[in-house]
């Protein structure tokens, strides 16, 4: 009897630990029955959605937080996946109790009973609203940068650490007499120098200094005519300190040099 009591206490202690861990988890955890009715939710669910346990128990998550931002097929795919015994993982937009929208990353895992039948689902959710906002801001910033890059009246470019052309704006490929960006991207920077010694000097100085400003050199156009240009170039370094790529701007100074 004493042994049975001791084993029971160990089981109870283990269950209490598991329950405490689920309750204290930073991620939102929700357990539903086979039909999607909420059986249990930790306190993070309230922090995330604004709905407390009394609001949630016995209701479907969709009745509380569905935003309407996902179509019917999205939820059909979700249910087909978990009812087949597979784990479902995706991102979606839901609505808080106060009406505010948020992004969450959710994983739903089917739970089986002793007979091997699916009788519950456990959903683990993480609020990724801030990450999504940062991603949206980066996309907007990139779009603004690209607009500026494409429309700047001075030549802008990017090359690999080995000098292969990675990008060129219209002002640059027109400066070199190329019909489009792609035709110029087939080249290496050294192909454009009239004097190979200038290219060697440029390569040595940019790798040593990291930034070059006012570097003047003579370049060759596609039709073999030449012109003078002034460069501003900076090195973008990798985490290990090695050059990752170079980016710079170029201004045609042929008239000034002739004068």
Please check the confidence at residue 211 and state whether its pLDDT lies above 90.
no
**250: β partners:** 155, 231
E-strand spans in the chain? 28-33, 38-41, 88-95, 101-112, 118-127, 155-160, 165-168, 211-220, 226-237, 243-252
- Is 13's pLDDT higher than 70? no
Write down the pLDDT at residue 217: 86
Q: Is residue 204 over pLDDT 80? A: no
The pLDDT tens digits for 136-153 are 998 998 899 899 999 999
Model confidence at 59: pLDDT above 80: yes
Whole-number pLDDT of residue 241: 82
Q: Please compute the mean of the pLDDT values over residues 49-60 and round it to a whole number.
A: 92
The residue behind tokens 């170079």 is 246
What's the mean per-residue pLDDT of the chain?
Answer: 88
Of the candidates 170, 182, 168, 176, the residue with the CA atom closest to the CA atom of residue 248: 168
Lowest-confidence segment of 45-49, 74-78, 233-237 by average pLDDT: 233-237
pLDDT at 73 (0 to 100): 96
225-254: average pLDDT: 90
Q: What distance in Å separates the CA atoms of residue 234 and residue 237, rounded to the nearest whole number?
A: 10
Predicted local confidence at residue 212, as pLDDT: 79
Average pLDDT rounded to a whole number, residues 197-220: 77
Rounded average pLDDT over 165-172: 95
Q: Residue length, the chain?
A: 259
**pLDDT value, residue 216:** 85
pLDDT-based confidence at residue 6 (cuts at 50, 70, 90): low
DSSP 64-103: HHB-S-S-HHHHHHHHHHHHTT--EEEEEEEE-TTS-EEE
Residue 132: predicted pLDDT: 92
């Amino acid at each position: 009897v004493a042994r049975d009591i001791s084993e029971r206490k160990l089981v109870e202690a283990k269950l209490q630990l598991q329950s405490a861990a689920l309750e204290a988890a930073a991620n939102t955890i929700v357990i539903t029955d086979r039909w999607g009715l909420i059986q249990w939710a930790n306190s993070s669910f309230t922090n995330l959605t604004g709905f407390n346990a009394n609001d949630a128990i016995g209701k479907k998550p969709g009745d509380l937080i569905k935003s309407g931002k996902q179509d019917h097929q999205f939820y059909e795919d979700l249910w087909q996946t978990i009812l087949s015994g597979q784990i479902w993982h995706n991102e979606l937009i839901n609505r808080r109790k106060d009406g505010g929208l948020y992004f969450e990353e959710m994983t739903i895992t089917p739970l089986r009973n002793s007979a091997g039948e699916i009788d519950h689902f456990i959903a683990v959710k993480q609020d990724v609203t801030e990450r999504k906002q940062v991603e949206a801001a980066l996309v907007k910033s990139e779009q603004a940068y690209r607009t500026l890059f494409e429309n700047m009246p001075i030549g802008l470019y990017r090359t690999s650490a080995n000098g292969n052309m990675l990008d060129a704006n219209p002002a640059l490929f027109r400066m070199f007499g190329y019909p489009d960006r792609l035709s110029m991207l087939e080249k290496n920077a050294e192909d454009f120098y009239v004097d190979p010694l200038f290219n060697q000097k440029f390569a040595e100085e940019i790798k040593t200094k990291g930034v070059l400003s006012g570097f003047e050199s003579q370049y060759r156009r596609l039709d073999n005519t030449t012109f003078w240009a002034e460069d501003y170039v900076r090195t973008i370094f990798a985490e290990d300190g090695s050059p990752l790529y170079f980016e710079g701007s170029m201004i045609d100074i042929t008239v000034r040099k002739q004068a």
